[in-house]
Amino acid sequence: MRKYRGHAKLVLKPGSTKEVSKILKYCNDNMLAVVPQGGNSGLVGGSVPVFDEIVINMSRMNNIRFFDEVSGTLVADAGCILEVTDHYLAERGYIFPLDLGAKGSCHIGGNVATNAGGLRLLRYGSLHGSVLGIEAVLPDGTIVDDLSKLRKNNTGYDLKQLFIGAEGTIGIITGISILCPQRSKAVNVAYFGLESFEKVQAAFREAKSQLSEILSAFELMDSGSQDFVAAVTKNKRPLEGEHPFYCLIETSGSNSEHDNEKLEKFLESVMEKDIVSDGVVAQDETQVRSLWAWREGVSECSGHWGGVYKYDVSIPLQDMYKLVEETRARMDAAGLMGSGSSHPVVGVIGYGHMGDANIHLNVAVRRYDKVVEKELEPFVYEWIKERNGSISAEHGLGLAKKNYIGYSRSEAMIGLMKQIKRLYDPVSPPSFSLGFEG
Amino acid sequence: MRKYRGHAKLVLKPGSTKEVSKILKYCNDNMLAVVPQGGNSGLVGGSVPVFDEIVINMSRMNNIRFFDEVSGTLVADAGCILEVTDHYLAERGYIFPLDLGAKGSCHIGGNVATNAGGLRLLRYGSLHGSVLGIEAVLPDGTIVDDLSKLRKNNTGYDLKQLFIGAEGTIGIITGISILCPQRSKAVNVAYFGLESFEKVQAAFREAKSQLSEILSAFELMDSGSQDFVAAVTKNKRPLEGEHPFYCLIETSGSNSEHDNEKLEKFLESVMEKDIVSDGVVAQDETQVRSLWAWREGVSECSGHWGGVYKYDVSIPLQDMYKLVEETRARMDAAGLMGSGSSHPVVGVIGYGHMGDANIHLNVAVRRYDKVVEKELEPFVYEWIKERNGSISAEHGLGLAKKNYIGYSRSEAMIGLMKQIKRLYDPVSPPSFSLGFEG
């Protein structure tokens, strides 16, 4: 988003947990600010040295420490790249229980620190459930060694949970232990067009009921998002004709024949019930990838005209798409959106993870403009607060949203979070509040 | 286990979160000890007033507050009985993501407070993943209102996680929000006999690979456990002939035909490979229940002769059954085990959740006897510590294991837990250490 430019005089690349401990102890004793950095793929400025922080980059800690082929338990350094880790697991018939667009550069330690959700949360669940153990270093250098390989251990408080989603503000994660599911032998993908968001909801209900245990993704893309991908990639669209909404369904299972039968029955029934207007099922691996490209390409393509304001939010399902419509109407009413270069806004689109009630609102612009920003904020945040949604479903707070936490959390909850921050990081100046940013 | 007898002069049954808050504030201000109590089905003495505590019983807070049929989000009072809640969900096509033997009396708040695992953790995962929000009251009366209905909310620390498994020591859970999966239309159960624990492990690997997404339980029972059930219930055994080990497999899916086909293929292949010696598949709902009774009945039946010492532990899979064999050998060597009434020990059995590397070691006795206890402890705990296992996979610490946490947690981790206890409950006398017991 070109929003944050880093300035750092010193980048440290520790090679071991002990080195991380020594660095943090030294910095803590000498009141030197640090910012932990994984693959630097975050979207909220959390890993950027925006002041004068020392960068602690984890990329040298990238070893797989242990893998058990019976239980699927993996223990690995925080700096392992997600895609590399997943390839390691693929060779052994397993899959990392998380997948996201930035997999080629993001670190698994960063994924855990930011509680990444990604494309298959619907199937594999939250990291709070799949992470078995964590090794982390507290600000004063204390090493928290909680790298359990056990699926069940009810002996005292589950402190590792605090580090999942804390974005490195109470400690730096140096290693994780995680339960990996078996990789599915059969993967099927369908892409279809729908008339309204009501029909998208109906299709989702049907998919949950009919595809149930094999449903691994249910993704939503509006027509604007697909127009962007078509305009930028010039690829042939998967369906003839235009539809206001598109969905991508992925199934993963152990028996290709069974899954095909279920998916075809599902498509038949939703076409018959007039829920879906048109649809296509991938016939081979190449088609699976090309259909996914219409979902995975949205983020990059919407930045094509110069820039994009991105909001990654969670809203109770029935209201989810209204945010996009109302934001679009607002841009229109303010005269900011149009095809000529005098209009800063190219378009307002919505897409995301239907299965998690998680939508990405993207406002594609020709240039970043304070006038656009003023129309967007606090409007978007207030809209979400009114509906008890979350202003950050996946991306975290970082620097971008550190002042907006009050839109998604009560004063009382923020007070309790500050207690925890003070407990683990008493030296940090109070101006850092919760310390998000890094 | 007849181990704890409660003494209480006062039992309070609050009807609202506000009342819980007033009670805790009053007790905190006046230094009165309390013990929260759910369905009183715990096995470690955690809900028993063993000193002179005031019992805070949650049974009057038993309302379903909210349910969304599209997302499966349930919000309910802590005092709702698990089975009642599951019936409510069943009528709507959903299932509570947890099932256990005590479902007829245990409370969902108690389930969350003790991080219960139960029979279907293999399929539905840990409560750390499925619980979306918690309402709790801290010792000083502060109400923590974190009853989010969102599947994704990455805005700050996920404090609700601390209450999951804390056994009420840092606050009393008054309400929960939880994501419920769709109820499977098809449930199949198979029961089979095997020659050795090596073959049980091989069968588990095959089941994970072939049954994958429809596998909802893989339970282990040794011959001794099945002998107990046979002796007490006088029921006809599911299989002809004797086998050293038995397993129960359950599949749950959306298509009965597909699931049957997968299960039959699986049984054929494990019989062909000589992994399984003999097996039977339930033909109807009645047979499903009667096969499950051979697993679910073990706990009750092993208490038939007078009493039973129970250990619920987690050990890396390959070593899991050795604990039972070595404990049995130890009882034998000490001359404590035999058929005459002069021997206190009737038998040593093992059974449990293979899918979670979680075994229940039961030592069935004619009478509780210090000599038996001395042979068992600290032997069992030391054995587990050596293998980096957990001395309490599911049941928690309570009073029974509060002094044994060191066998499963490092000094450093216990120190960090004490910090958290002090943060939320500074008034509690230090002799209470972590406060487990209640």
Over residues B301-316, mean pLDDT: 93
In the DSSP assignment, the letter for residue A238 is S
Pairing type for strands A307-314 and A215-222 reads: unpaired
Give kind and range of the element (H or E) at residue A1: none
A164·B158 Cβ contact <8 A: yes
Min Cα–Cα distance to chain B from A161, Å: 6
Query: Considering only alpha carbons, which residue of chain B is nearest residue A114?
Result: B154
pLDDT tens, N- to C-terminus, chain A (438 residues): 667 888 889 999 999 999 999 999 999 999 999 999 999 888 888 888 888 899 999 999 999 999 998 889 999 999 999 999 999 999 999 999 999 888 999 999 999 999 998 888 888 999 999 999 999 999 999 999 999 999 899 999 999 999 999 999 999 999 999 999 999 989 999 999 999 999 999 999 999 989 989 999 999 999 999 999 999 999 999 999 999 999 999 999 999 899 999 999 999 999 999 999 999 999 999 999 999 999 999 999 999 999 999 999 999 888 999 999 999 999 999 999 999 899 999 999 999 999 889 999 999 999 999 999 999 999 999 999 999 999 998 888 988 888 888 998 999 899 999 999 999 999 876 544 566 543
B152·A121 Cβ contact <8 A: yes
pLDDT at res. A403: 86
pLDDT at res. A112: 97
- CB-based contact, B200 to chain A, within 8 Å: no
Q: Where do the domains of chain A lie, and which CATH numbers do they carry? A: 11-57 (3.30.43.10), 64-179 (3.30.465.10), 186-297 (3.30.70.2190), 302-407 (3.30.70.2740)
- Between CA A110 and CA A164 the distance in angstroms is 10
Residue position matching structure tokens 């708040």? B109
A401·B71 Cβ contact <8 A: no
pLDDT at res. A433: 55
- CB-based contact, B114 to chain A, within 8 Å: yes
CA torsion, points B383, B388, B392, B394, in degrees to nearest 10? -130
- Region for residue A162 given its phi and psi (left: phi exceeds 0; alpha: psi -120 to 50; beta: otherwise): alpha
B389 contact residues in A (CB cutoff 8 A) = 150
- Examine the pLDDT at B284 and tell me if it is beyond 80: yes
A114 contact residues in B (CB cutoff 8 A) = 154
pLDDT at res. B431: 45
Nearest to A314 among B150, B397, B412 (CB): B150
- Examine the pLDDT at B414 and tell me if it is beyond 50: yes
pLDDT at res. B436: 59
In chain B, residues 278-317 whose CB comes closer than 8 Å to chain A: 314, 316-317
Tell me how far apart the terminal alpha carbons of chain A are, to the nearest angstrom: 18
pLDDT at res. B399: 85
Min Cα–Cα distance to chain B from A341, Å: 36
- Radius of gyration for the alpha carbons in chain A, expressed in angstroms and rounded: 22
pLDDT at res. B110: 96
A146 contact residues in B (CB cutoff 8 A) = 413
- Examine the pLDDT at B280 and tell me if it is beyond 50: yes
pLDDT at res. A48: 87
Mean pLDDT of chain B: 93
pLDDT at res. B438: 35
In the DSSP assignment, the letter for residue B404 is G
Closest CA to B55 of B24, B97, B4, B10: B10
pLDDT at res. B6: 84
- CB-based contact, A156 to chain B, within 8 Å: yes
- CB-based contact, A210 to chain B, within 8 Å: yes
A154, A250, A354: which to substitute to probe chain B, counting the most B Cβ within 10 Å? A154
pLDDT tier for residue B306 given thresholds of 50, 70 and 90: very high
Nearest to A130 among B129, B393, B436 (CB): B129
In the DSSP assignment, the letter for residue B94 is B
pLDDT tier for residue B301 given thresholds of 50, 70 and 90: very high
Exposed e or buried b for every residue in A214-237, given b needs 16+ CB within 10 A?
Answer: bbbbbbbbbebbbebbeebeeeee
pLDDT at res. A431: 45
Tell me what ipTM this predicted complex has: 0.92
Nearest to A154 among B162, B182, B395 (CB): B395
In order, the DSSP letters of B232-255 are: HH-PPPSSSS--SEEEEEEEEES-
Phi and psi of A135, rounded to 5°? Answer: -115, 130
Over residues B359-364, mean pLDDT: 96
Over residues B73-98, mean pLDDT: 97
B416 contact residues in A (CB cutoff 8 A) = 144, 159
**Taking CB atoms and an 8 Å cut-off, how many pairs form between chains A and B?**
266
pTM of the model: 0.93
A129 contact residues in B (CB cutoff 8 A) = 125-126, 128-130
B324 contacts B380 by C-beta, under 8 angstroms: no
A151, A178, A413: which to substitute to probe chain B, counting the most B Cβ within 10 Å? A151
pLDDT in tens, B220-253: 999 999 999 999 999 999 999 999 999 999 999 9
B412·A145 Cβ contact <8 A: yes
pLDDT at res. A222: 98
